[in-house]
Chain A
Amino acid sequence: MNEVLKVEGLSAGYGPLRVIHDLDLVVNPGERVGIVGLNGHGKTTLFYAIAGLTGWQRGSILLTGKQIGRTRSQGPGRYTHQIVRQGLAIMPQGDEIFQGLTVEEHLDSGAFTPDAWRTRKERKERVLDIFEPLRKLMRMPVGRLSGGERRMVSIGRGLMTDAKLYLADEPSLGLAPKIGMAVMEALLAINLKDSAMLIAEQNVALLEGKVDRVIGMHAGKLKGEASSSFRLSGNR
């Protein structure tokens, strides 16, 4: 009963296209779960479905016991802000950022709960401790940052509230390997306490041995599962 996330029979898609097929997933408190799969197999759509951002969806999604999924066919994003406010931190893939806002305003926008807004100064400090390079960029519009810095901003924004579930969508995508590694390190360094984290990733090597579980995703379904001690076959 105290799972952070419990997904049952989730299907989701856009218009006539069905991307996720009857998917079940359970994530327990304190867990870091890696979701691995190729492009176009539904990792991002799974995250979007949890946030209510897909075109349509059906099936049950329980976030700490509260129903946030429902059958809906209305436009995307109608309930997203309510779902997000129940304790979801989304660190989206790519450039889901506000081009003209400065880094500081960006982090502020992430502190959307009343409590987080009141303590946003300390929270910003904490984020800056993790992402040291952002400290001198606070007054820079995000549109002028490099890819790695943007990713740090978008992850930092997700860390501004106390979420129950963190969704990190391909944190290393499009980054130089070294920066991608650093970003991943930062994600793994977050103290989860009783919250949980889902990381979607194509590069399995980055997750290897660092997350509690790795689940494969193929053609809109979760396939196969490996525990924390998994090793890539044929690797060293």
Chain B
Amino acid sequence: MDIAFIFVNAITVAAIYGLIAVAVSITWSSLGLINLAYGFIYSFAGYSAWLVATYVARQYLDPALHPFVIAATGILAGALGGILVCLVVFIPLHDKPAFTSRGMIATLAISLIGSQLLLMAFGPTAKSLPELFGRWRVKFMDITLTADKIGIVVCSALMLAVVVMWMRSSRRGLEIRAMMMNPHAASIVGIGIRRTGIYVMALTGAMAGLAAVLLSQTYFISPFSGLTPLIKGVSIALCGGLGSIQGAVIAAILLGLVEALTNKFMGGQYVLMTQFLFIILVLIVRPRGISGLLDKAREQ
């Protein structure tokens, strides 16, 4: 019973942070940008969803539609935030010297400025979204699965599947994958770095937006609520091997397990410590991350 419970918790946590980790990974390998602005995109999407939920959905819409409208708002706002970061950071900076470090600093600045602006606009009081998945629960063997856990896992798995399918089958996806593998050759076949950048950032922003809506089922939305998911997302992406989608998923599950086990046996305050210890151990054994050899990913 205990083990199954820990495992369910691990998967739920992994699903959310996995979304952000995959977003970080895709952005890094296709654009060479470590986007630290997901913290802002996350809060931005969360607040947008909250605005729509309180001021639009509650007054004008049928309650049955609420979950879809709120989730769609989060995704759209996330994509918008991603495009904003792309326009402000990626397009002006991408061909300048030392783009990697500059990009990191610029996105971090956006994250901090954006969070402060949200603080000015909405105040320090945390907001909460209505329950998206209802209150039902399922008994499976002798574990009780609550609606929000099932919903979170299903939604993020669905999002991930859609993203991977889109990357595999569409023309834009082909362009993004080509850029992930060889940016130089990509420009030779007429793939514009800046345009592809906008697609990539919109896509990954949408993933962060969905993560924000899903995590708001457990935590409150506050101006700085994006910080923890950002740190976890980036570290999971690092642990999995930057640039690899499989790696990020595997690392998310492992780190989710570490988090759940720590919560169970040591207490929530030790979670970040054990997670980072685990990441350090992984990177000592495999300096390029879990899937550093599975995938040919960008190295600089």
Contacts and interface: CB of A to CB of B under 8 A. Distances in A.
Interface in A107-140: 108-110, 112-113, 117
B241 to A, nearest CB: 14
B174 A108 contact: yes
A18 interface: no
Interface stretch (A93-101, A202-210, A224-232): A93-101
B192 A81 contact: yes
Nearest to B95: A75
Contact of B189 (A82, A143, A157): A157
A51 interface: yes
Contacts of A66: none
B101 interface: no
Contacts of B296: 99-100, 143
Contacts of B189: 84, 109-110, 112, 157
A78 B195 CA distance: 11
Nearest to B179: A98
A31 interface: no
A105 interface: yes
A99 B181 contact: yes
A90 interface: yes
B1 to A, nearest CB: 43
A85 interface: yes
A97 B182 contact: yes
Nearest to A141: B296
A205 B155 CA distance: 62
A96 B175 contact: no
Interface in A31-88: 51, 53, 74-78, 80-82, 84-85
B95 A74 contact: yes
Contact of B182 (A98, A110, A113): A98
Nearest to A161: B190
Contacts of A77: 95, 183-184, 187, 193
A158 to B, nearest CB: 9
B185 interface: yes
B102 interface: no
Given A81-B192, A84-B190, A112-B190, A100 B184 contact: no
A90 B185 CA distance: 10
A109 B187 contact: no
A84 B171 contact: no
A79 B294 CA distance: 33
Contacts of B175: 109
Contacts of A157: 189
Contact of B178 (A51, A80, A101, A117): A101
Given A74-B95, A108-B174, A99 B190 contact: no
B131 interface: no
A92 interface: yes
B187 A96 contact: no
B177 interface: yes
Looking at B171, B188, B192, the one whose CB has the most chain A CB atoms below 10 A away is B188
A153 B191 CA distance: 18
A100 B168 CA distance: 12
B37 to A, nearest CB: 22
Nearest to A86: B190
A98 B189 CA distance: 11
Given A76-B95, A84-B188, A113-B190, 13 more contacts: A53-B187, A84-B187, A84-B189, A85-B190, A96-B188, A98-B177, A98-B181, A98-B182, A99-B296, A101-B174, A108-B171, A109-B191, A157-B189
15 contacts: A75-B96, A80-B187, A81-B190, A82-B192, A96-B185, A96-B188, A99-B181, A99-B296, A101-B181, A105-B174, A105-B177, A108-B174, A109-B174, A109-B189, A143-B296
